[in-house]
């Protein structure tokens, strides 16, 4: 393989830049040229392509977001859009494509593979941690750390006013950000799309903690279940305490990536190039039990995310 393409697609995630850097540097070190596609599949359709050299990725690992920028591209859902994307790949003589993104982006890669025989390798870049085949997605660790810092700030002021703090976090249909943030911040309850919740039980738990001398309560709500605002409104009917709801929003998607995401990005990027370099495509890469693994893209996108019941039970065991 002489020339590969690289794009980031869907919601950006901290660590994407570390993966970009790893793909570019390891490809060049293996004698492969790299073309970066700006704005994801939209840029591929519109021929927004740049040649990348070693220096084009210098100093980017510490930066959140993606230097290639990204987009959610509806045109890729149409055959016509995909044909335009492939025409751009052919124009530049790009033989293999690295796609950094979530499951929607992987579906695009899967179509390029199935319909046009383009070799693709997917790197899981999303804060949501919603892909079954990998233990962690790139950006999840940073997003959770951003959430726990924000929740820590909230807890300071909520404690001063003896309030109940309801915090909405992202994750689309997956509750992992909420669950991990809940454990890490000592939340009194976590409301997730994967588990039914009982508002009366949450209210009585808050009451118990108050009787034991706790003056602040934290409830984390995953956006896939409902909004924090909506939950706070419901909870108000059952608790006498002052409640404030905060939506962390896109703040959790930006910022300096953690060590875990920078190192994961580097490992995933290097493996992507190894695979394409040896003529292997139609794969996605992930991490399982701290080993970098790869699997068939079609199989990976058809897997349903399972909920980590053990971790959920851990949370239950450490709440009052």
H or E element, residue 247: strand 243-247
Report the residue from 26, 70, 120, 126 that binds ligand F6P according to the rule CB under 6 A: 126
| Residue 127 sits in the site that holds ligand F6P (CB under 6 A) | yes
Nearer residue to ligand F6P within complex by CB, 96 or 257: 257
Q: How far is the CB of 319 from ligand F6P (least distance, A)?
A: 25
CA angle, residues 107, 147, 170, in degrees to nearest 5: 35
Of 197, 241, 240, which Cα lies nearest the Cα of 216? 241
CB atoms within 10 A of CB 306: 8
- Under the binding rule (CB under 6 A), the answer on residue 222 touching ligand F6P is no
Tokens representing residue 194 in the block: 């994967």
Nearer to ligand F6P by Cβ, of 69 and 172: the residue is 172
**CB of residue 224 vs ligand F6P: minimum separation in angstroms?**
8
Q: Is 5 in the site for ligand F6P (CB under 6 A)?
A: no
The CB-of-3 to ligand F6P minimum distance in angstroms stands at 30
The closest alpha carbon to 101, from 81, 121, 75, belongs to 121
Give the residue with the Cβ less far from ligand F6P, 82 or 253. Answer: 253
Strands 96-101 and 3-8, by their bridges, are parallel
Q: Is 123 in the site for ligand F6P (CB under 6 A)?
A: no
Crossing angle between the packed helical segments 140-160 and 176-185, to the nearest 10 degrees: 50
CA–CA dist 166, 122 (Å, integer): 36
Active site residue 128: yes
Q: In the sheet that 283-288 helps form, which strands lie side by side, from edge to edge?
A: 49-52, 33-37, 3-8, 96-101, 119-124, 283-288, 291-296
What does the block give as tokens for 298?
Answer: 């079609």
What CA–CA distance (Å, rounded) separates 20 from 40? 13
Q: Figure out which of the listed residues 43, 96, 125, 171 binds ligand F6P, where binding follows CB under 6 A.
A: 171
Question: Pick from 95, 103, 128, 141: which binds ligand F6P (CB under 6 A)?
Answer: 128
Touching ligand F6P, residues 75-114 (CB under 6 A): 102
Contact stretch for ligand F6P (CB under 6 A) within 21-29, 31-39, 49-57, 166-174: 166-174
181 binds ligand F6P (CB under 6 A): no
Strand order in the sheet with 243-247: 189-191, 217-222, 164-169, 243-247
Catalytic annotation, pick one of 128, 176, 188, 294: 128
- Only one of the segments 30-38, 120-128, 282-290, 309-317 lies at the binding site for ligand F6P (rule: CB under 6 A); that segment is 120-128
- Is 142 among the residues that bind ligand F6P (CB under 6 A)? no
| Piece of 52-60, 124-132, 197-205, 262-270 that binds ligand F6P (CB under 6 A) | 124-132
Q: Which stretch binds ligand F6P (CB under 6 A): 53-61, 80-88, 117-125, 165-173?
A: 165-173
With respect to ligand F6P, which residue has the nearer C-beta, 207 or 230? 230
Contact 33, 3 (CB under 8 A): yes
Instruction: Provide the token pair at 161.
Output: 């006013």
Contact positions toward ligand F6P, by CB under 6 A?
A: 11, 102, 126-128, 170-172, 223, 253
């Amino acid at each position: 393989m002489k020339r590969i393409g690289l794009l980031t697609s869907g919601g950006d995630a901290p660590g994407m830049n570390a993966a970009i850097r790893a793909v570019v540097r390891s490809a060049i070190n293996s004698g492969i040229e790299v073309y970066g596609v700006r704005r994801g599949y939209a840029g591929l359709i519109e021929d927004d392509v740049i040649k990348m050299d070693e220096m084009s990725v210098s100093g980017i690992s510490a930066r959140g977001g993606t230097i290639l920028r990204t987009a959610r591209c509806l045109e890729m859902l149409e055959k016509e859009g995909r044909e335009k994307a492939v025409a751009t790949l052919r124009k530049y003589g790009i033989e293999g494509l690295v796609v950094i993104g979530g499951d929607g982006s992987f579906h695009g890669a899967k179509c390029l593979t199935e319909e046009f025989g383009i070799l693709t390798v997917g790197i899981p870049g999303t804060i949501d941690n919603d892909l079954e085949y990998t233990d962690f997605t790139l950006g999840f660790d940073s997003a959770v750390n951003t959430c726990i810092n924000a929740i820590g700030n909230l807890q300071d002021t909520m404690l001063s006013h003896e309030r109940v703090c309801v915090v909405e976090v992202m994750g689309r249909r997956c509750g992992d950000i909420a669950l991990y943030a809940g454990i890490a911040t000592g939340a009194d309850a976590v409301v997730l799309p994967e588990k039914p919740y009982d508002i009366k039980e949450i209210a009585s738990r808050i009451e118990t903690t108050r009787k034991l001398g706790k003056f602040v309560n934290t409830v984390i709500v995953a956006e896939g279940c409902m909004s924090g605002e909506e939950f706070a409104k419901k909870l108000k009917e059952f608790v006498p305490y002052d409640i404030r709801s905060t939506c962390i929003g896109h703040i959790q998607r930006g910022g300096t990536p953690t060590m875990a995401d920078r190192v994961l990005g580097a490992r995933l990027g290097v493996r992507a190039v190894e695979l394409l370099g040896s003529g292997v495509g139609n794969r996605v890469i992930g991490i399982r039990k701290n080993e970098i693994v790869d699997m068939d893209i079609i199989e990976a996108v058809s897997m349903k995310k399972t909920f980590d019941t053990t971790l959920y039970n851990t949370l239950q065991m450490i709440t009052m």
